[in-house]
A and B are shown apart, each in its own frame.
Chain A
Amino acid sequence: MSLTDWKAYKPVLIPNIKDYHKIDVYEKHGGYGALKKILADQDTLTPQHVTETVKNAGLRGRGGAGFNTGLKWSFMPKPDGGPRYIAANGDESEPGTFKDRVIFEFNPHTFIEGSIIAAYAMSITTVYVYIRGEYRSWIRMMEKAVSDAYERGYLGQNILKSGFSVDMVLHSGAGAYICGEESSLMESLEGKRGYPRVKPPFPAQKGLWGRPTTINNIESLANVPLIFNNGADWYKGTGAATHPGPLLYGISGHVNRPGVYEYPTGMLVTDLINEVAMGVRGGKRVKALIPGGSSTPPLRGDALDGVRMDSDSLRQAGSMLGTAGMCILDEDTDMVDYLWRVSHFYHHESCGQCTPCREGTGWLEKTLLKIKAGDGTMRDLDLLLDLCTQMEGRTICALADAAAWPVRYTITRFRDEFEARVKNTVYALS
């Protein structure tokens, strides 16, 4: 479908069907059909073929980095008879993001089916599903769904008598944002402190327990059956050309109708704010849009025209698609307060393994707290930008970048507000 008639779009990832989370209903509407089709015709639909199909469909990871999912699968080495893993990433801890839980709640089986297809494509022996510990309610729903899938023979040994076997294990986190980072997630799954690993080696070479592993986001895997049910061409033609497919938009902040929506990628942010979310509360103006979770640089409200929710358009606009967890801040928002809170988050969540992040995130927060308290100086603004330079690209994982970007871009894009806050500070010369 084209992007002009988005109003006519009917959700396919989370279809509007009563009790769709139940395996009976899911099956009745063709659920597990893609899997059956593939397993019944393994000579034609070889693992390589499946991988190629996903690659050509153009599905890009929904976890934030936006890497081509099929291409990622193709990095797995040839099977050697030993165990191989998928770690499905349901850590969903990036502030502003609340979309994977919708899949757990309303369409768990499309995720399970997608995982099994992915497992088939990569000769996986076990799929570990890492779900953030706070999602206790949704973990229970997933337990039920997985157990139903086992019961129907979609999981376990000799699936649908195809000769293919794979297990699925749910693993609960316990409160650590860093475990959404793929190597940290693996450490956590191995029962350790969630410290990111040094790369290389990459997970496809040495992942869980030193074995080949692919980490995919929940929503990415949930998209996989859609590709096989509707064809790669359909998928490619949905939404933005370079970043296609249905997308779960989590809209929060100062809008009239926040929540999760499913539309194709590439929607105009103005449509999403003004029509989908029914505009800003109280008819106010948008001061800032955080397009894809707290780490994505905020865009100015007066620079949103023509910006679309796909990675190319957002890169041009000076931000990133991230998780498509959009937060709209209205004209009354105190950007210093906002930025301090974001920095507080990264300070709290830095694992502390490597120096620039462990020390830098705290320094950023403390400096912003000082500015917020009215004790900041112009020098502090320059210091903050300097600290960002000292953190970006200098750490084992990307958390330091995620902490630095909002600081860098909030200060540069809303500098007037910060300057106004520090200008009248009276301070002793030191």
Chain B
Amino acid sequence: MQNFEFTKEELAKIDAIIARYPNPQPAVMPVLWMAQEKYGHVEPDVQKLVARTLNLPEAHVHGVATFYTQYYKERKGKYVLDVCTSFSCQACGGYETLHYLEDKLGIKAGETTPDGMFSIQSVECLGACGYAPMMQITNDVYVNHLTPEKLDKVIDDLKKDQLPEFESIPLVQNRTTAMENE
């Protein structure tokens, strides 16, 4: 059985997080994030670790963890592909993107590939409506303007553990007119 513990350095970081609030309870969300980054999930044992560390009731931590969708209450693939299918993306091919990925990886949304590399999820609006269709990789980088070709490349790169780079998208006006001299 895996032993879940925070290191001394992590505990010091947690103390610094707690210090930002009037009491330790608000630290539950940042510390769940820390734990998920460390272990890749917040299964019950990790929830217990968070509760123990912050001296909060386990039930409270469980209630919080299950309320927020970004916490993985069960193990996921190494790369979680969150495809936005909310209505702006839906209008611009969000579902086609999702289905393309499903066919490509041979799994359905909500499932993980047998090799544990990829999970696919159909998610709600990620706030990239103008750059649809798009997806987010493992709660982190956004990949915009998806096409089958772009998806193929992203998957190939991820298999080599190469994450896409963050794409900065300025105001359209500022993209189309010359930048003012600084």
Contact = CB atoms under 8 A, between A and B. Distances in A.
Interface in A168-184: 169, 171-177
A99 to B, nearest CB: 9
CB-CB nearest 4 A-B residue pairs: A252-B129, A174-B68, A175-B70, A175-B69
B122 to A, nearest CB: 10
Contacts of B67: 176, 193-194, 351
B100 interface: no
B141 A137 contact: yes
Contact of B91 (A19, A135, A329, A345): A329
B98 interface: no
Given A171-B29, A191-B25, A327-B91, 15 more contacts: A18-B179, A95-B87, A95-B124, A96-B129, A98-B128, A98-B129, A136-B139, A169-B20, A174-B32, A190-B25, A191-B56, A253-B91, A254-B91, A258-B130, A259-B172
20 contacts: A17-B182, A95-B86, A134-B126, A134-B139, A136-B141, A137-B140, A137-B142, A173-B68, A175-B69, A175-B70, A190-B25, A193-B63, A252-B92, A254-B92, A261-B171, A262-B171, A276-B172, A325-B129, A338-B90, A345-B87
A395 interface: no
A79 interface: no
A133 to B, nearest CB: 5
Interface in A344-400: 345, 348-349, 351
Contacts of B85: 341
A17 B171 CA distance: 11
B130 A251 contact: yes
Interface in A90-124: 92-98, 101-102, 105-106
A341 B130 contact: no
A257 B170 CA distance: 13
B1 interface: no
Contacts of B171: 11, 14, 16, 102, 106, 259-262
B64 A192 contact: yes
Nearest to B166: A137
B4 to A, nearest CB: 19
Contact of A250 (B30, B68, B130, B181): B130
Contacts, number: 183
A294 B85 CA distance: 13
B180 A172 contact: no
A341 B86 contact: yes
Interface string A228-272: 000000000000000000000011111001111110000000000
Interface in B36-73: 56, 60, 63-64, 67-71
Contacts of A337: 90
Contact of A259 (B22, B30, B169): B169
A294 B169 CA distance: 23
B6 interface: no
A95 B91 CA distance: 12
A250 to B, nearest CB: 6
Given A134-B139, A172-B29, A342-B87, A11 B174 contact: yes
B2 interface: no
Given A175-B69, A338-B90, A260 B180 contact: no
Interface string B158-182: 0000000010111111110101111
Contacts of B92: 252-254
Interface string B10-41: 00000000001111011111101100000000
B127 interface: yes
Interface residues of A, number: 70
Contact of A209 (B22, B129, B142, B173): B22
A309 interface: no
A261 B172 contact: yes
A253 B88 contact: yes
A246 B22 CA distance: 36
Nearest to A258: B130
A48 to B, nearest CB: 27
A93 B100 CA distance: 26
B136 A134 contact: yes
A306 interface: no
B140 A260 contact: no
A192 B25 contact: yes
A403 interface: no
A327 B172 contact: no
Contacts of A327: 87-88, 91, 129
A16 B180 contact: yes
B132 interface: yes
Interface centre among B140, B169, B181 (most CB of A within 10 A): B169
Nearest to B31: A191
Contacts of A260: 130, 171-172
B123 to A, nearest CB: 8
Contact of A191 (B28, B130, B136, B179): B28
A105 B168 CA distance: 8
Nearest to A20: B182
Contact of B173 (A16, A19, A189, A191): A16
Interface string A67-108: 000000000000000010000000011111110011001100
A188 interface: yes
A15 interface: yes
A234 B152 CA distance: 51
B17 to A, nearest CB: 9
B20 to A, nearest CB: 5
A25 interface: yes
